[in-house]
Homo-oligomer: A and B are copies of this chain.
């Protein structure tokens, strides 16, 4: 396989998109995203948009009222959204959600939603991403990729990072099988989860406290665009997983 020339080595730019209004159930999320992006920088072909799960869940009406004075009032919802408890310690529940994600509290949390309300994960985050990608193509004629991102913890390492719940228009996992390394030997590591790296990169400019729901990543390798799915390509099947 031919090695890329230095000219193929692109710089990435990660741009926070401010100015998105507070999103409510039934809102035209794609329209708001397009408006905010166009105001900030103008969308271009091969831009990757990373969109917070929270605004997707709000637009899709995945909101449930809970007792605002009881910090544990969302726990019954955690069990409803789960198909299997993986670990439990005190109030902390690590479960496999009905979508197939393994995470704390079935992805339900109270930050960046109004008091007395919690947001559940979208039913199908790949589909949510496709809707936004399709709307951008249909309304302004730009071929972009969209990633729906959320914040998960992980075993063995402290701190959370953002990962992809869903994607559209981009390969989720880059398959490097058959690729040689820089010394001409076949690579050991062959599958890179680029949508998780892109989601984490976007978190660096979105922040947790700022309510910046969207970031645009510009400069991504054009070869990475195409069809991809987190549900199909990223979620590990239980039978090949050593940790549940």
Contacts and interface: CB of A to CB of B under 8 A. Distances in A.
How many identical chains are in the complex? 2
Interface stretch (A120-128, A133-141, A174-182): A174-182
A236 B154 CA distance: 10
Contact of A9 (B89, B197, B212, B235): B212
A233 interface: yes
B110 A188 contact: yes
24 contacts: A11-B13, A12-B13, A14-B201, A87-B242, A89-B242, A102-B155, A109-B189, A110-B185, A112-B183, A115-B185, A151-B189, A157-B163, A158-B191, A159-B174, A159-B233, A159-B234, A161-B192, A161-B193, A176-B209, A182-B209, A192-B203, A196-B200, A201-B204, A243-B243
Given A111-B181, A157-B196, A157-B234, 12 more contacts: A6-B18, A6-B19, A11-B13, A12-B14, A12-B201, A14-B14, A111-B189, A158-B191, A158-B233, A159-B172, A183-B211, A197-B200
Interface of A: 1, 3-4, 6, 9-16, 18-19, 87, 89, 94, 101-102, 109-115, 151, 154-163, 172-174, 176, 179-183, 185-189, 191-194, 196-198, 200-201, 203-205, 207-212, 220, 233-236, 241-244
